[in-house]
Chains A and B, each alone.
Chain A
Amino acid sequence: MLDNLSDIVFRLTNVSVNYGFSKAIDSISLDLNRGKILGLIGANGAGKTTTIKALLGMLKIYKGEVLILGEKKCSSRVCRKLGFAPEDASPPEYLTAKEYLGFLSKYKKSNAIDSEQQIGEFLDWFELDPNKSVSKYSKGMKRRLILAQAFLGSPELIILDEPLNGLDPIMIKKLRQKLKEYQSQGTSILYSSHILSEVESTCSDVAMMHRGALLAKESVETLIQNFGGVEKAFASRVGGK
């Protein structure tokens, strides 16, 4: 609690979420500072997505507190400064990519001319056909559109849940560059993935989860120095569990 609160983009304090009678996440305490990329790693079922949903107020929290962009819940004010790409979501199928991004940009904080320009750039950058209906998009294209909307409107916090699913290697490389670019502009990013090599090359810090508990949160540099890499660090932490 000694950190400067204005520097903290989100903070989870002893957050627990139950699915029925079983605990999905148990007393998670996690925070993210401005301008950092935090990798959230763990095996399938470790509680990464649940942690993100708890942070965004999508689930009822059994106990604990959430602070996100200065507020205790993910209100519409917070959402205006937030970009989120869920793992499996599909955009509305009756829209084209351009219409979808246009609709979202009306709610984000950028002005109309800026957003028009940004939409054009994003469509080019993510290699999306602007006038094709989303229903005719392939899975990979839908994934790219979901990622594009998360970056729209210069958000202060971007949350990406398994962003690499369905992406080709060229787009993965481009996405890594994009994340670094946003980080250099002061955007904070929460990056949930189980592809540890990608987390190592993209993130500044890593939080490791296992069976609903947070095992550790360290900087990538520390993990490389102490364990020789994120993958080895994760194996040594989880291996004995």
Chain B
Amino acid sequence: MWPLFIENCRYILRSRMILLVLLFSTLVHYSGLKLVSHLTLYIQNSVTVLGPAEMLTVSLYLQLFTALSIAAVYGIWMAPYAHKGERSLLTHVLPVEKIKFPICYSFCCGLILMINELVLLAVFWSIKGAQTFSFSELPWNNLINAFAFQTLCLEVLMLFLALGSLVLGHVATVFLGASSLFIMQILGAMSSLVKNSPETPFFSLKGLFVFLFEKLPPVGNFLFDFHRVVKGENILGSHLILWCSWLVVAHLLFWVKIRYPSKNRSTEA
């Protein structure tokens, strides 16, 4: 799989993805952190200036935006590149097991997300200085856990967007992906309302809805789970298992999709 990984890294470099990620991330992180560093909170006559740990927490939320954009761009445009149109025929006869393609894309996406995270740390360093990078000043464990959790979730998203791009095309996937995230949030709220109402029997339409919804990737809970990780609390084990399961499912679905590169509904014969 090594040559495939190298080839994909080359694609990421030559498509200027890395350059854009560096510029975009630096811009977002720098402007965000600079703004936060000048922030003074006045609450009930007490004055609070944000410390390094609080600043980092804010910047972690800022980098979610850049990370989400990276996963979306990589999933919709870059991962499907070798599997679209006539090029997919050449990819199909590459002597590589098909399951290695989604695995390779996950590694590559993980690599870009890591670069995004490194940019965040570099910007933080440039603003707050090297002395803040000590174990006493920063919650390193929480930070690493937050990065790992975010990478897991965004890789699931990336693979589903790549799958959508292969099946429906780029444009439809952009809109469908955004709509799905929105709908999942609403369904999440509905699900918690239904679940919390005591009179919902399991064998009912509402009960079935809650049961099925809880098997989907917990997108609606992502921000809450992320917040817990950043604060050093344990997130629900079931959510972590769900994300890991959906990562496996996404890999398998991608593998199934690329097994037959030509559709049995073409006009050519």
Q: Which residues of A contact B (CB under 8 A)?
A: 17-20, 24-25, 45-47, 49-50, 53, 56-60, 74, 76-77, 79-80, 82, 84, 86-92, 94-95, 99, 103-104, 106-108, 146, 149, 212
The stretch of B8-16, B157-165, B192-200, B233-241 that contacts the partner chain = B8-16
B48 at the interface (CB under 8 A from A): no
C-beta contact mask, B81-107 vs A, less than 8 Å → 1, else 0?
110001101101111110000000000
**Residues of B within 8 Å of A, CB-based: how many?**
28
Can you sample 6 A-B contacts with CB below 8 Å?
A45-B269, A58-B261, A82-B93, A94-B10, A107-B94, A149-B90
15 additional A-B pairs beyond A50-B268, A50-B269, A103-B3, beta carbons within 8 Å, are A17-B264, A19-B266, A20-B264, A49-B269, A56-B89, A56-B93, A59-B262, A84-B89, A90-B86, A94-B10, A94-B15, A99-B10, A103-B7, A107-B3, A149-B90
- B3 adjacent to A106 (CB under 8 Å): yes
Q: Which of B7, B14, B81, B264 has the most CB of A within 10 A?
A: B264
* Bound form: Cα–Cα A161–B86 in Å: 12
- Contact assessment for B15 and A24 in the assembled complex, using a CB-CB cutoff below 8 Å: no
Contacting residue for A19 out of B14, B86, B94, B269, CB 8 A: B269
Bound complex: CA A108 to CA B96 (Å): 10
List B contacts of A104 (CB < 8 A).
94
Q: Are B92 and A95 in contact (CB under 8 A)?
A: no
State the total of A-B contacts with C-beta under 8 angstroms.
91
> Which parts of B46-99 form the interface with A (CB within 8 Å)?
81-82, 86-87, 89-90, 92-97
Interface residues in chain B, defined as those with a beta carbon under 8 Å from any beta carbon in chain A: 3, 7, 10-11, 14-15, 81-82, 86-87, 89-90, 92-97, 259-262, 264-269
CB-CB < 8 A to A99: which residues of B?
10
The answer for the CA separation of A87 and B259 in the assembled complex, in Å, is: 20
Q: Which residue in B10, B89, B266 is a CB contact (below 8 Å) of A89? A: B89
A74 proximity list for chain B (CB < 8 A): 92-93
